[in-house]
A and B are shown apart, each in its own frame.
Chain A
Amino acid sequence: MIGTTPATYAPEAVRKRLQGKRFDAKGFAFSACLLAALLITVTLLAVLLYDVINGGWSVLTSRPIEFLTGSLSSAAADAGIGQGLRGTFFIAVFVILVAFPIGIGAAIYLEEYAPSTRLTRLIDVNIRNLAGVPSVVYGLLGFAIFVKALGSFTGPDANGRTVISAGLTLAILVLPIVIITSAEAIRAVPDSLREAGFGVGATRWEVIRSHVLPYAGPGILTGTVLALARALGEAAPLILVGATTGFLSGGDSYNLASLQGRFTAMPMVIYNWTGRPQPGFETATAAAIVVLLAVVLVANATAILLRNRYEKRR
């Protein structure tokens, strides 16, 4: 044992003399409180996961296929989430097609091109403030802009309240997140890499394409996946752009013409079912939550693991 060997005996004695022999009650209490705060948070997460998995298990095991592909119904025993999954799928498509290119492009401009002018600072401050705007306000924006603008383009009873409006609104909602995380990833690229490129005569774009983006790639990917997960879980903007809260005929087809019709999405299905008093909907809701959480948390966990892995390698 270390403590008993003569060589370390003296420092131990010095430590005791310095600290006193008293038990450090204050320090122990402080660290116990801090650890408790952390453990309560982690426990709440565990209880939440247990609660929904336990609640939804019977539905997911007794009729998995019917539940995943079925339509909304007033009877909990027949209700399925096929239409919700379809809406969430198209929202993901719009976020990937709209928010990712614009967001990464804006991040490249801010980090690589932007001169240090007032306009640049304005854009920077503006993006940070946009990231803090409540999601329900973005819903209002989508309602005022996209729903009205697309009204003439949509099917007879949709009035612009389509998955296109919802997808564009959520793309705008996560755009600041994509920009901020991508800009951070680009900022982490060492300047020596850029200088090496300029040194052999490459233009700025050539340096960005062949040096900066490959190096910043994993970081950008992490940020974009986190942003996508955020978009898939948002419900408040969907309410405002008119996702169906009641029943929906159709809305489960994946062909492009169906984009003109009315829609719903996973978070809306959950919101809708939570408010239903009929028996059986609590388990159906829990099952729908398990499916949504599986999508969102798998995306999140992949992004976080990816980032930790690349951080460690550098």
Chain B
Amino acid sequence: MAPRPGESGVLSVESLKGAPGRFRKESAIRRVFFAAAATSILISALIVLSLAGEAWTFVTQVDYSSLWTDGWFPRRGMYDVKTIFVGSILVTIVAMFVAGPLGMGAAVYLSEYAKPRLRRTLKPILEILAGIPSVVLGFFALTWISPEIVQRLNPESSLFNLMAAGIGVGILTTPLVASIAEDAMRSVPQALREASYGMGARKVTTSTKVVIPAAVSGLVAAFIIGISRAIGETMVVAIAAGATGGSLFNLNVFEPGQTMTAAMASMAAGTDAVKGAGLTFQSLFFVGLLLFLITLLLNVSAGRFVRRVRQRY
């Protein structure tokens, strides 16, 4: 037992160290928290492993001629990847035509124009929109956007179409884009704005010539993360774009189509297990791995842009 100051009258380093029991408890707690943090690494490893195994089986066993056919019909052994890839791209383009202007516009308004009180009411509304489940937007896209907007603009359009799905995905993505873009604009130092006003610039000039160029990395990041979210969105497309069994190659956004995500959902839904001819089960994991890699690439590059803004200010 280390001598206590009261016992021997000498104060040593030992007596200031504290009880060993406390140290043991402390290091045990530290290990528990470390294990919690390390779980995230484990999850990433599990995602990659579980996807890569079956995807590898698909890549090695698939007949390569079936990867370039007229459409995506996995149950019939037609794995035309370009059909669902192009479907994803089309939906994403439509979605970003909606989420880009709406999200960026909302961000610039909230950051530069809105009075604090108006901002306090509008920001929570955007956050509520961000919390709406994607099945709900899928229903909305099918029952309202498709008949009331898409079919009015183009009467030839079918009820299930990629356009309505894209608009739905865009609405879902808007709050995310707005939130990241607004963060970037608000991190621009006030001194830059004041310098601009000092030169006699108007608000519009200050916003477009000073604040937006200063925050451009963050705005690009917001756009990229929006794209990543739009590519990964499943339910809106699964509900509103139709083509549940499979899809022919299609470039017309007013026709039904299928994206990578919706293709995965429709393979798993409907039957009790993922069954079908030959490699249907494995193709599910192949598409999943493809999706994982695309979104990972987008997110990593967006992270670079975000860091660039942070480093500068």
Contact = CB atoms under 8 A, between A and B. Distances in A.
Given A233-B135, A245-B269, A300-B128, A38 B296 contact: no
A18 interface: yes
A297 to B, nearest CB: 6
B26 A204 contact: yes
**How would you classify the secondary structure of chain B's contact residues: helix, strand, loop or mixed?**
helix
Contacts of A134: 231-234, 261, 291-292, 295
B131 A136 contact: no
Interface in B257-301: 261, 264-265, 268-270, 272-273, 284-285, 288, 291-292, 295-296, 298-300
B41 A123 contact: yes
Interface stretch (A59-67, A190-198, A234-242): A234-242
A24 to B, nearest CB: 6
A176 B37 CA distance: 10
Contacts, number: 274
Nearest to B299: A132
B109 A37 contact: yes
A205 B25 contact: yes
Contacts of A77: none
Contacts of A292: 133, 135-136
A175 B137 CA distance: 24
Interface range on chain B (Cβ under 8 Å from partner): 35 or more
B15 to A, nearest CB: 12
Given A31-B113, A38-B110, A201 B18 contact: yes
B120 interface: yes
A44 interface: yes
Contacts of A36: 105
12 contacts: A26-B204, A34-B108, A38-B110, A109-B33, A126-B40, A136-B234, A138-B47, A140-B285, A141-B51, A236-B238, A282-B143, A308-B120
Given A27-B203, A31-B203, A235-B235, 11 more contacts: A45-B128, A51-B143, A137-B232, A138-B47, A143-B268, A179-B37, A205-B29, A229-B131, A234-B133, A239-B238, A267-B135
Interface of B: 18, 22-23, 25-26, 29-30, 32-41, 43-44, 46-47, 50-51, 54, 101-106, 108-110, 113, 120, 122, 124-129, 131-140, 142-144, 171, 174-175, 178, 200, 202-204, 207-208, 225, 228-229, 231-235, 238-239, 244, 261, 264-265, 268-270, 272-273, 284-285, 288, 291-292, 295-296, 298-300, 303
